[in-house]
Amino acid sequence: MRAQEAAELLLKASEPIRGGSLGYSAYHVLLALRLSSSSPVGRIRLSQALRIGEASAKTLIARLKELGLVEAFPEGIRASKRGEEVLKVIEASIEISQASLPFKGWESAVAVTIISLPPPKDLVGVYTVRDKVVREGCEKVIVGGREGGETFYPGLPSDVKALIDAGLSSKGEGTLIIVPEECRQLLINASLRLLSTTK
């Protein structure tokens, strides 16, 4: 399974069927697969762990079953072979790590490296990635990349680059996106959308 296909499945599970909006996002779908990969998980536990309502958890479970990502057991749902494959592909394609930057509001941040997405080389590429994250609702975004062990942030001065690099723990190569911790969920959603467009 390709990363694009895996991301598309997670996004599909988070799209409403008859309009309106769901009480969960692709971020919750990914967490549900992680939770159900080791042992069956019931609706109430899933609802509590994901911090979504029980009705949303019920809908999420139905969508996961419909897409063949989980199997039902008396104790709850468990990731199917297909669900485990999706999880494995996504975890190999998106590296998530903590970051601590010396800027106000960035002391606790999250960094994502999208391994299969070529890093932006210019400001046009940076804005394309940034706009996806902003559309999800996160206004504060740093976009760069890593190739050959070197990080770069088009448009940022080298002294700022050094400060950012000092606060990063990720080492993966690809497109690098950093946001404040409160935007974690939005960043994961945007990362899945970006991954779904890779070839």
Domain around 17:
3-88
Q: According to the model, what pLDDT value does residue 40 have?
A: 92
Distance CA 97, CA 110 (A): 6
Q: State pTM to two decimals.
A: 0.90
Scanning 14-113, the segments in alpha helix (DSSP H) are 26-36, 43-50, 54-66, 81-93
Average pLDDT, the chain: 91
Query: 150 lies in a domain?
Result: yes
Q: According to the model, what pLDDT value does residue 199 have?
A: 67
Percent of the chain with pLDDT strictly greater than 90:
70
From 53, 88, 123, give the residue that closes a domain: 88
Rounded average pLDDT over 77-97: 94
From 60, 88, 116, give the residue that closes a domain: 88
Q: According to the model, what pLDDT value does residue 45 have?
A: 92
Rounded average pLDDT over 108-135: 93
Q: Could you tell me where the beta strands, DSSP code E, fall in the chain?
A: 70-73, 76-79, 94-99, 109-114, 142-147, 150-152, 174-180
pLDDT digits over 4-39, tens only? Answer: 999 999 999 998 877 667 788 999 999 999 999 988
Q: Which residue has the higher pLDDT, 199 or 171?
A: 171
pLDDT digits over 127-140, tens only? Answer: 999 999 999 999 99
| CATH number of the domain where residue 120 is located | 3.30.1360
- What is the number of other CB atoms lying within 10 angstroms of the CB of residue 92? 13
Q: According to the model, what pLDDT value does residue 17 have?
A: 76
CA 39 from centre of chain: 22
Q: Is 45 helix (H, G, I), strand (E, B) or coil?
A: helix
66 and 39, same structural domain?
Answer: yes
